[in-house]
Amino acid sequence: MHISVSTIAAFALTLTMAASAAQAGETLDRVHKTGVVVDALVNDYPPFAFINDKNELDGFDIDVAKAFAEKLGVKLKLESPGWETIVGGKWAGRWDVGITSTTPTEDRAKVLNFPVIYYSVPAVLVVNSQEQSIKSVADISGKRVGVGSGSSYEAYVNRNFTIPGQPAIEFPFHDVQVVPGDETVNFQNLALGAGVRLDAIVASLGTAKGQIDATGKLKVLGDPLFAEPNAIVTDKGDPEWDAEVKRVVGELKAEGKLATISNKWFGVDITKNVD
């Protein structure tokens, strides 16, 4: 049988489109088939996600994930593979979504998608209540500044932080002695005294507020450093799933569910100024 070149080309194009369509809906199909959505998150970032005194995962991100799964009509499975693993991409179907307070950056966008921003919170400078030598962020030059390992705050104090689509961030300091580590441990060290182990910390206002209330020995210094949008993340290659994630989160916001969760944890709505 003779088949024309044009027919072969058309058939090949059809197969390619079909394969793309199958790939595009792979995650959503899997979630519906299993009845479970798997959320990858960190578990040591209070009050966003942490293990409470009942040895259960708790926090703002946990409640958002629960609402997300409920809206999808499926069960929620939480996994904590580690921050570097999550933001490294190439999930290979191990996780469906990452509701884990992730700031979009140019480097992360190379391996992950950010289908929707779900809250925005200021980044702030925190010092010990007895601190005298640091008057503003400009004074952290040469100081020991604690940050979460691999966080946007680490990139900020290293002066190599940009947020796609946002104005350029100013860095009025230099040669900071960056001390990356677990944020809870950093705050505990700063609470020991001004300059004892750390001179300052850069963190989110939400995290700082919780630690300030818990220790009674810390304070926020000066104005917010930058406004940090936080997105729900997905792996590359599934635009249909990205659209579904955006739709579900949009409905949760429109219904006031995100605002309710935010007010529960922070007393204010950190979700209101995002689209």
Q: Tell me the pLDDT tens digit for each residue of 73-126.
A: 999 999 999 999 999 999 999 999 999 999 998 889 999 999 999 999 889 999
Inform me whether the pLDDT recorded for 165 exceeds 80: no
Instruction: Give the pLDDT confidence score for residue 164 in this predicted structure.
Output: 78
141: which 2 tokens?
């030059």
- Domains present along the chain, CATH in parentheses: 25-120+229-266 (3.40.190.10), 121-228 (3.40.190.10)
Instruction: Give the pLDDT confidence score for residue 166 in this predicted structure.
Output: 79
The DSSP element (H or E) to which 235 belongs, if any, is strand 218-235
Task: State how far the Cα of 202 lies from the Cα of 159, in Å rounded to an integer.
Answer: 13
For the chain, the 3-state helix, strand and coil shares in percent, each to the nearest 5, are 40, 25, 35
Closest among 225, 236, 205 to 108, alpha carbons compared: 236
Q: What's the mean pLDDT in 204-219? A: 92
pLDDT in tens, 218-275: 999 999 999 889 999 999 999 999 999 999 999 999 999 999 999 999 888 999 877 6
Q: What is the pTM of this model?
A: 0.75
The DSSP element (H or E) to which 14 belongs, if any, is helix 5-24
Q: What's the mean pLDDT in 158-180? A: 92
